[in-house]
Amino acid sequence: MEKLPAATGWQWIKQGFALFRKQPAEMSTLFLSYMFLMMILPIIPVVGQVLPLLLIPVFSMAFMQACVKIEKGQRVYPNLLLTGFRSAGLSRLLWLGLLYVCAAALAIGASTLVDGGVFWKVMAGSARVDVETMRHSNIRLAMLVSGLLYVPAAMAFWYAAPLIAWQDMGIVKALFYSFHAVRRAGRAFLLYGLGWGLLGVLFPLLLSTVLGWITGSPTLMVVVLLPLSMVLTVVMYCSFYPSYTTVFGRPADAA
């Protein structure tokens, strides 16, 4: 695979918007169905708190398959959430999810060496992020350290799920190919990440803040921020698909 130019990362974002525009209501419904499941899974005793992370690779294939259907001019329905569960590689996707949980836990756990476990407690839900916590701990540095430590894992996980589901790869092979594919497309991914940082984080916050300042209504800030953030999140999910097809081509059999 040849190294991709940096501009490719911006093209992925534009292609994500193009896919979303073809079926905005259907993709939003699929995303809301996914979020609803993520909200009820923690109700399950013992394993409920881990399931949302464990099932990320399985549910990610729903959005990849939805993009395939959009390209083919077919309608997207919420039952696509079961796509990953119908895959012949379901067991491997679940093991991939377990590795995802372990990698995240190790990255966050390493931050305890920086802030004495404050960030770990916040992520575990046993502590809150407030002004005092931010002021009297190294939580910012801990978050940075965790993020940097997780980057290699994120590179390995990026393409792993579709490589397992669509190309029938084993877990180790999928992680290997994903890591090196992202490494070789590093400049494209850097611009891709920066683009989503601006569009997905700074733009909604800036827009809602300006509207709230002009109108003096905090409620308006929330009313604008929530739906805008949801739409941009769905578009980001749509952009995962062109990032895959640019590197590995369109799936020959995405059933």
**pLDDT digit string (tens) for 85-98?**
999 999 999 999 99
- pLDDT classification of 42: cutoffs 50, 70, 90: confident
* 3-state SS assignment for residue 156: helix
- pLDDT classification of 204: cutoffs 50, 70, 90: confident
**Closest by CA position to 16, among listed 245, 254, 255, 248:** 245
CA distance 7 to 9: 5
The pLDDT value given to residue 127: 66
Mean pLDDT of 217-239: 86
- Average pLDDT over the chain, rounded to an integer: 89
CA distance 63 to 31: 8
CA distance 157 to 235: 20
- pLDDT classification of 23: cutoffs 50, 70, 90: very high
Mean pLDDT of 126-144: 73
Q: Which pLDDT tens digit goes with each residue over 169-180?
A: 999 999 999 999
CA distance 170 to 160: 9
CA distance 121 to 218: 30
Which pTM value belongs to this model? 0.88
Q: What are phi and psi of 49, to 5 degrees?
A: -70, -25
